[in-house]
Amino acid sequence: MFADVATRAYDPAQRKPADGATAADLASRMPRLVARAHEIAASLAYGVHGRKRAGVGETFWQYRPFASGEAAHRIDWRRSARGDQLYVREREWEAAHDYFLWMDCSPSMAFGSSLASDDKLSRGVTLGLALAD
């Protein structure tokens, strides 16, 4: 019912994988990993995140009464035309988040099986690059 699963691992202390590949062979996989990371990142919705208060951004937040001394170009004339008071259109403060990513390259990541095309390290690097992208 179950097929035999073959595993492969390499010892980072030897600086050479068990299958005989060199560092150059391992580095040659990087363009493929980066391309796969771009594909994963393109499938995600990303962007700026609202801070739930007035500030610089594109999303409407609220109207507030116009205060004397402000620039006239800030007046929302459509909203102000509905009544006797002048209003300013406020936008929600939006800012990008900053994150630091750490990819685990320890010996525990040097595992692969015949069921997976990549080892854990390659998959971890791919996902880390996708998150960074």
**Of 86, 87, 98, 94, whose CA–CA distance to 55 is shortest?**
94
Stated pTM of the model: 0.39
Alpha carbon distance 19, 71 (integer Å): 70
Can you give the pLDDT at residue 7? 66
DSSP symbol at 75: B
With b meaning 16 or more CB within 10 Å and e meaning fewer, what string describes 6-35? eeebbeeeeeebeeeeeeeeeeeeeeebee
CB atoms within 10 A of CB 87: 20
Can you give the pLDDT at residue 54? 65
Question: pLDDT per residue over 82-105, tens digit each?
Answer: 989 999 888 877 766 667 778 787
